[in-house]
Structure 1
Amino acid sequence: MSKLYRFLPSMDQILDGITTDKDMAALPRPLIKDHASAFLDICREEIRAGAITEEAQLKLEVLLPRMTAYVRAQSRPHFRRVLNATGVVVHTNLGRSLLAKSAIEAVAEACGHYSNCEFDLSTGQRGSRYSHVEKILCDITGAEAALVVNNNAAAVFIMLETLAKGKEVIVSRGQLVEIGGSFRIPEVMKKSGATLHEVGATNRAHVHDYENAINDETGALMRVHTSNYRIVGFTKEVGLPEMRALGDKYNLPVIEDLGSGSLYSLQGAGLLGEPTVQEVIAQGADLVSFSGDKVLGGPQAGIIVGKKEYVDRIKKNQINRAMRIDKMTLAALEATLRLYLDMDVARKQVPTLRMITASQESLKSKARRLADAIRAEFGDTAEVGMKKGFSRVGGGAFPEYDLPGTLVTLNVKGISADDLRVALLDTDPPLVARIEDDAFLLDPRTLTQTEIKLAATVLRQAAESLK
């Protein structure tokens, strides 16, 4: 056994052999060397285990196909495209919203060329990066001013740090939200230097609760939209008009954190309870914060809109420098917002809105095409069907609402649903779907038209890897 080790090919032989593949030749040589060395360690382990017993098994021409496949697999980028067949439209773990075509093109333009990121073309002098999106945000929302930071948690933090550092901020107990990753409003507030003043009960809060809590240390009144949960039954919350009247009475700013903010009303899709940013501004909020990459369907960003006097103060906050967005985000956000100048255009061209508002007929047709594509790949080795089911908006929005649609069911003979799920994580690209009651389900709502055939292909690849 020990004699076999000497017959392993040298690294120089491996590098010369493996780089004859044009795809491998394009990879950095040190990367190839690292992965080839790891493959040799696998070969040594196979010798020790008795899987390799002859010198002929270690010849370069014998090992090369397997080694090339191993190096290719290990050299794939860690950050990769994934096919989303879960039916969760704003899937946080899978990168949230897809960008519209115009936004993708704008990002490519911003990356491939110099730009007027902070250059005023009308004066030839230094300009503000926020000028590219501030006016269009104001035009859409009706706000006086706007600012964009890197995410909504940052937006909430800088609003509180600017307006209420060292002061109290009054919030209803029923609105002390925790979002994914255990980020909580009370902790964000504490880091900002503001002091949380809870009022009301978990399920009910009244105007007098807020008014009784106001004192000389009060810096702001705050509402937090419970976008990722609902309290139902015997409940009451103070509406924004009532809060606005209280703010006017005591000369206090009223802040509204919308979380997954929407510029497009989804009531027509049967989704209620999610106010649009425009509605909140019209009801008198001084400042409103919301995400750019959830229901809005743009890049990750924290958007602040509201009264100019408050937004200007936030812009001058030194922390703003640490939270500013880059040119790619600016380009994608402006392109996305331009679509919202015509709401019908936004519904058709913003992928998030298009998926959420998709008709039952279109979803059934899409499911039929997916089922047919899968049957073509598997033949009689799998049972493929269709059934009624539900999708979700995701991203913490509309937690109590399901989106009805049509699902595709797949049962591959001799392969369990869970084994297929695991194998699909290693396909190129990987595919993520659902398992319910031991059945493997694919929701076509979150697959693009061009991904139907690709999904069927990687399903077959995954199944073949398990044989």
Structure 2
Amino acid sequence: MSAVGLPHRIHLPSVDGVLRWPAIEALVAAHGRAVVLGAVRDELAARRLAGEVGADIDIAAGIAGRALAIMAPSLQKVFNLTGTVLHTNLGRAPLPPEAIEAIVKVASGATNLEFDLATGKRGDRDDHVESWLCRLTGAEAATVVNNNAAAVLLTLNTLAPRREVIVSRGELVEIGGAFRLPDIMVRAGCKLREVGTTNRTHLADYREAIGPRTALLLKAHASNYRVEGFTAAVPEAQLASLAKENTLPFVVDLGSGTLTDLVRFGLPHEPTPAETLAHGADLVTFSGDKLLGGPQAGVIVGHADLVARIKKNPMKRAMRCDKLTIAALDAVLRLYADPDRLAQRVPVIRLLTRHPDAIAASAQRVVSLVAKWLGARAVVDTIPVQSQIGSGSLPIDLLPSMALRIVPQGGKRASGRALDGIAAAFRALPVPVIGRIAEGAFLLDLRCLEDEQEFRALFTGEASR
């Protein structure tokens, strides 16, 4: 006899009858009648279509599985072992504890998001981050929108509607998801004026293109690609002087953006907004969730009069950040007040500067555990690999790392289906593990594995979703 009814049924029970089973009543108490009712109907319909009946306990288990699947959150934590630190598909920069705490603090109730506590009047949500952005970049003013593409779009729509924007042909970048700078310019209502060639653009090219319909000069930093060999590009300071001669704004899209010189951490140099403004740029745009290490945001810094015009654009409201983003960004910006401790306090910088010996030691500690979990399905060892920074940041610079190499039984002759099966097995863990397939193996690059204890628990049966 089953725990919830007859040991086996000849006919399927009714929906109302199933809803009175104790196990199903418990599901209703946990998840609500509407969800469970849908699960009951779907389970019975599936069994009817398949010509299956089964025991009551099996039917109840099927219903429970459907209800839990409906209620399971779609967005969940994963282990990023792809070898790409700033992985766009996996959420880019992990936030520091200070930012998470700030989000929690403002999420549960009312805040002074747009309320001036000193005067008791309406305030500006940008006020919570503007002073820090100005302090860290040397800008006169700043504003924030929901990502850097929005920052570029809003800037162009404000300063160059129905007019020409001069850009080097070699800087007409495409960012993730096939979003291209020329397309953004069309949506911004301005006209692209290309100058130079793919690999070489000179100051004279810009000078000759300036005319009565020119609105501004735009430079897009090559943050997600690099052209090498027979190349020429005009330095920012020269473009700034040319723009000033013609009373035009000079705007620089840094793309990734970092608020500190990464060379101090042994990483390649990436231009900072402060450097770009010092070279004479009037406005600089950059991302918040890449090398800066904060939440998704697009930052615009520069001359006060231009920022004021941008903030008055009606599109600004459609692109504004919510209180959670502002709280997180404010918390991360404050960490930059102490640059000597950034490598410990900002996760992105900590992951990028992680010593290869530490990664190798971690690999040695977990390799046998993963091998035991896989059993006869695959052979597991460790190999040196190269991590990449990702999200269009320092595109050709690689970082030495160590990976678990997982080869399905069959060695080099292992099929793609076998590799896909291994990858799927890791994605099905209570906390999904995301790696990459390369050279006939499934690789788990351990550069971003900081919580080794939680990772180990996945293979010992101690983890739960």
3-state SS in 1 of match to 2:420: helix
**Against the structure 1 CA distance between its residues 63 and 23, is the aligned structure 2 distance closer, same or farther, given a 3 Å change threshold?**
closer
3-state SS in 1 of match to 2:95: coil
Cross-structure match for 1:162: 158
Counterparts of 2:438 and 2:461, CA distance in 1: 20
Residue 322 of structure 2 is aligned to residue 326 of structure 1: yes
- Quick check: 2:126–2:143 contact (8 Å CA) kept in 1? yes
- Quick check: 1:166–1:193 contact (8 Å CA) kept in 2? yes
Residue from 33, 36, 39 that aligns with 2:37: 33
Residue 36 of structure 1 and its aligned partner are, at CA, apart by 2.9
Q: Report which stretch shifted further, 133-142 or 394-403.
A: 394-403
TM-score normalized by structure 1?
A: 0.90
Matches within 5 A, 1:410-449: 410-411=406-407, 416-449=418-451
Counterparts of 1:218 and 1:305, CA distance in 2: 22
Cross-structure match for 1:82: 78
Cα deviation, 1:135-173, whole Å, max 9, x if unaligned, reads: 001111111110001111111011111111122111000
Q: Give the AA of the match of 1:29.
A: R
- Quick check: 1:240–1:284 contact (8 Å CA) kept in 2? yes
Residue from 314, 327, 346 that aligns with 1:350: 346
Counterparts of 1:43 and 1:36, CA distance in 2: 11
Residue 8 of structure 2 is aligned to residue 12 of structure 1: no
Cross-structure match for 1:146: 142
Residue from 453, 456, 459 that aligns with 1:453: 456
Cross-structure match for 2:413: none
Cα deviation, 1:303-334, whole Å, max 9, x if unaligned, reads: 00011111111111122111111101110110
Counterparts of 2:82 and 2:458, CA distance in 1: 12
Counterparts of 2:27 and 2:433, CA distance in 1: 23
Residue 108 of structure 2 is aligned to residue 112 of structure 1: yes
Cα deviation, 1:375-417, whole Å, max 9, x if unaligned, reads: 4645677533211011111111121121110111234659932
Cross-structure match for 2:129: 133
- Quick check: 1:428–1:458 contact (8 Å CA) kept in 2? no
3-state SS in 2 of match to 1:368: helix
Counterparts of 1:18 and 1:169, CA distance in 2: 69
Q: Give the AA of the match of 1:222.
A: L
Residue 18 of structure 1 and its aligned partner are, at CA, apart by 6.8
**Against the structure 1 CA distance between its residues 242 and 71, is the aligned structure 2 distance closer, same or farther, given a 3 Å change threshold?**
same
**Against the structure 1 CA distance between its residues 29 and 368, is the aligned structure 2 distance closer, same or farther, given a 3 Å change threshold?**
farther
**Against the structure 1 CA distance between its residues 448 and 73, is the aligned structure 2 distance closer, same or farther, given a 3 Å change threshold?**
farther
3-state SS in 1 of match to 2:309: helix
**Against the structure 1 CA distance between its residues 72 and 224, is the aligned structure 2 distance closer, same or farther, given a 3 Å change threshold?**
same
**Against the structure 1 CA distance between its residues 18 and 333, is the aligned structure 2 distance closer, same or farther, given a 3 Å change threshold?**
farther
Counterparts of 1:388 and 1:18, CA distance in 2: 55
- Quick check: 2:427–2:433 contact (8 Å CA) kept in 1? yes
Cross-structure match for 2:212: 216
Residue 77 of structure 1 and its aligned partner are, at CA, apart by 1.7
**Against the structure 1 CA distance between its residues 344 and 370, is the aligned structure 2 distance closer, same or farther, given a 3 Å change threshold?**
farther
Matches within 5 A, 1:178-189: 178-189=174-185
Residue 125 of structure 2 is aligned to residue 123 of structure 1: no
Counterparts of 2:431 and 2:166, CA distance in 1: 48
**Against the structure 1 CA distance between its residues 19 and 284, is the aligned structure 2 distance closer, same or farther, given a 3 Å change threshold?**
farther
**Against the structure 1 CA distance between its residues 219 and 35, is the aligned structure 2 distance closer, same or farther, given a 3 Å change threshold?**
same
Cross-structure match for 1:464: none
Counterparts of 1:141 and 1:30, CA distance in 2: 53
- Quick check: 1:293–1:299 contact (8 Å CA) kept in 2? yes
Counterparts of 1:208 and 1:458, CA distance in 2: 67
**Against the structure 1 CA distance between its residues 306 and 428, is the aligned structure 2 distance closer, same or farther, given a 3 Å change threshold?**
same
**Against the structure 1 CA distance between its residues 309 and 19, is the aligned structure 2 distance closer, same or farther, given a 3 Å change threshold?**
farther
Residue 65 of structure 1 and its aligned partner are, at CA, apart by 3.0
Counterparts of 1:386 and 1:421, CA distance in 2: 17
Counterparts of 1:251 and 1:329, CA distance in 2: 35
Cross-structure match for 1:232: 228
- Quick check: 2:36–2:63 contact (8 Å CA) kept in 1? no
Residue 359 of structure 2 is aligned to residue 363 of structure 1: yes
Residue 178 of structure 1 and its aligned partner are, at CA, apart by 0.9
- Quick check: 2:81–2:446 contact (8 Å CA) kept in 1? yes
Q: Give the AA of the match of 1:452.
A: F
Aligned sequence identity (%): 43
Cα deviation, 1:31-50, whole Å, max 9, x if unaligned, reads: 22222322223322432xxx
Cross-structure match for 2:3: none
- Quick check: 1:346–1:353 contact (8 Å CA) kept in 2? yes
Cα deviation, 1:281-311, whole Å, max 9, x if unaligned, reads: 2211110001111111111111000111111
Counterparts of 2:208 and 2:220, CA distance in 1: 20
Q: Give the AA of the match of 1:26.
A: A
Counterparts of 1:458 and 1:153, CA distance in 2: 43
**Against the structure 1 CA distance between its residues 120 and 436, is the aligned structure 2 distance closer, same or farther, given a 3 Å change threshold?**
same
Cross-structure match for 2:394: 398
- Quick check: 2:256–2:291 contact (8 Å CA) kept in 1? yes
- Quick check: 1:8–1:59 contact (8 Å CA) kept in 2? no
TM-score normalized by structure 2?
A: 0.90
3-state SS in 2 of match to 1:146: strand
Cα deviation, 1:177-228, whole Å, max 9, x if unaligned, reads: 1111211111111221211111001100000100111111111111001211
RMSD value, Cα = 2.5
- Quick check: 1:118–1:126 contact (8 Å CA) kept in 2? yes
Cross-structure match for 1:309: 305
3-state SS in 2 of match to 1:162: helix
- Quick check: 2:158–2:313 contact (8 Å CA) kept in 1? yes
